[in-house]
Amino acid sequence: MDIKFGIENIIKIVLSILFLGCLLDWEYGYFQFVRFLGMVGFAILAYQSNKRENQTLTVVWAASAILINPIFKIALGRELWNIVDVIWAILLIGSIFYGKRTK
């Protein structure tokens, strides 16, 4: 399979690894680090999706950036955050392959 590893795909892979890392028992600082990188990464992905006029992914990535932002925290509880982290990892990795298939 021929997949280009542009900046978007690198962001998606790094975020996926970070989110799956959230399933482990880390210090609170790790989760703050993931929130900040997640917000920035999702904002970049939303901007890029908007440039390509992909409204669905623009909304998904923008909503994700808002949900994970470290400034106005949304408390979901550890179990629910773990589910969200897995869903994000699946969406991010899936979007790499789906985006390639639809081009």
pLDDT of res. 39:
96
For CA atoms 72, 76, 78, 82, the dihedral sign is negative
In DSSP notation, the chain reads: ------HHHHHHHHHHHHHHHTTS---HHHHHHHHHHHHHHHHHHHHHHHHTT-HHHHHHHHHHHHHH-SSS-----HHHHHHHHHHHHHHHHHHHHHHHHH-
Domain spans, the chain: 18-102
Query: What's the whole-model pTM score?
Result: 0.86
Question: Over the stretch 9-30, which tens digit does the pLDDT of each residue have?
Answer: 999 999 999 999 999 988 999 9
